Structure 1
């Protein structure tokens, strides 16, 4: 086809097409504007603040990389990183296993699937503050339900949330419990997308439920598993609300021993007023999350290529 014919084919948009384009841009405008105002602009502003000394009135004075130098000399950084990684390493795999078991259970032929889905998913749509306060009462050392139940079996209870050795694990338990239902729904959607013919053929060949799970379900829903793992890790590295609500920052002696990087950011930004230094902490955490996400995506590609 000649260039003249090509130009003839590329006609100007009709009036109706222009109206459709305008309507489409109008529909996506609120989301686009919202993303720019609440995500894109604050991110670049935060990045700029990390190279400045910022006062309480957001007046920035450029100080180069002094905030990052201070960050890497921060005595609490290693402890906060340790607690953050410990939280992620425990909650993500355990939560994934529980979600897989629940999704497999709901993917089978049982009665009352809708009721079970609602029950399991309910913690995910409940406000984090409400969930944290309820579990705080359960773990209360003086009148908590957990100690009352343990007392029935002759086991002495303890102050779970004021003990530095148990407080973080209590928060982990709440994180696993509240996130399992959300991951279960995503994994269940992935499982329901697998053709039943695979299971029927495997059953004819004599494969049992366990073999079908590991040989068919896991490989075919591996993209969904990787998605759940990535989002779970990102959420784990951003843990703050549950920890802050369950473990009182001002009165609890265990708080300093179990603080995470996000808590360190909160203290410097809103308690001490060091906004530039807090911005450096958030950028540092952003880089860590990005590195881990890239490694996971690389691992997913290797897994798919291997299969």
Structure 2
């Protein structure tokens, strides 16, 4: 009888006692709390506040009033917005050229018996870790129409040079070249890691079957790199859509450089509206539209990747 009487009380106490998995969940939440707070304070809150402020007009001395969708209507009426949008998409397309070059160099550096691979990797990676401002200033000097090294080199072959970053026809592509040059090292390291993950047995079997180097690359290496290429494409598109440093450093401003409008990106237009013209309502609308553009293109890439995997 005593045992029967104590069993319900014991069961009731066990039910109230937290189980070990629950205690583990509590400790897990404690460990991820700093990262969660950081994301909340530095990412989620600014995004939500930017979206809210895009529906307001800012006064010259602070304060704001609700204006509805007037800022978005004003953005779509701006000629500079459409030119900046076209320029940004061109930067994105030029930036995608980084990936074929990175794959090519990764394959070359992955060859057996190649000496000094570590040195080559470091040389390719240095432009990526160099500050964009420093890279932009150096390349702006190289592109100089009067005493730049590029024009001097072309002059050896009798090719006339130009003012590369001051000419509206060449400014955007000149900046795009610097963009590709500075990003190759980052993707090179990723593709080298992807190639090393390919089992060597595949290459050896193909070589025994008589496949040459190009066939091994096209039939084995490239298909096995599909997940890596997809990841690099996502990162590259997001990064190039936010290009600002090189545009600002190499094209200066609209008053100092007549080619600025021909190379202006959405982020540089955002900077001009927010900090030069103090039109923060229009600037926040631009920022939110850029976020929607990045989200839409990322969604399209994921859909295309699923179809590609399905067909492969």
Q: TM-score by structure 2 length?
A: 0.89
Aligned to 2:259: 254
Q: How does 1:80-159 map to 2 (within 5 A)?
A: 80-92=84-96, 94-109=97-112, 110-159=114-163
Structure 1 gaps, min length 5: none
Q: 1:1-307 to 2 correspondence within 5 Å?
A: 12-13=18-19, 18=23, 22=27, 24-25=28-29, 27-56=31-60, 58-92=62-96, 94-109=97-112, 110-249=114-253, 250-307=255-312
Report SS of the residue matched to 1:64. coil
Comparing 256-265 and 195-204, the one that deviates more: 256-265
Tell me: CA distance 1:200–1:10, structure 2 relative to 1, closer, same or farther (3 Å).
Answer: farther
State the distance in 2 between where 1:135 and 1:83 align.
Answer: 20
**Following TM superposition, by how much is the alpha carbon of 1:304 offset from its aligned partner in structure 2, in angstroms?**
1.3
Gap change, CA 1:150 and 1:281, over 3 Å in 2? same
Compute the RMSD of aligned alpha carbons: 2.3
Structure 1 residue 20: Cα displacement: 9.3
Q: What per-residue deviation string (whole Å, max 9, x for no partner) do you get for residues 172-200 of structure 1?
A: 00000000110111111111111111111
Q: Is the 8 A contact 1:103 1:185 kept in 2?
A: yes
Q: Compute the TM-score of the two structures, normalised by the length of structure 1.
A: 0.91
Residues 223, 300 of structure 1: 8 Å contact kept: no
Cα gap change, 1:190 to 1:57, in 2 (>3 Å): farther
Q: Which has the larger radius of gyration?
A: 2
Q: Size of the alignment, in residue pairs?
A: 299
Structure 1 residue 17, shift from structure 2 partner: 8.8
Structure 2: which 5+ runs fail to align? 1-10
Tell me the distance in 2 between the aligned counterparts of 1:20 and 1:56. 49
Secondary structure of the residue aligned to 1:76 is helix
Matches of 2:309 and 2:61, distance apart in 1: 51
Matches of 1:8 and 1:231 in 2, distance apart? 50
TM-aligned CA deviation for residue 9 of structure 1:
11
In the alignment, is the contact (CA less than 8 A) between 1:190 and 1:224 conserved in 2? yes
Describe the shift of the 1:229–1:58 C-alpha distance in structure 2 as closer, same or farther (beyond 3 A): farther
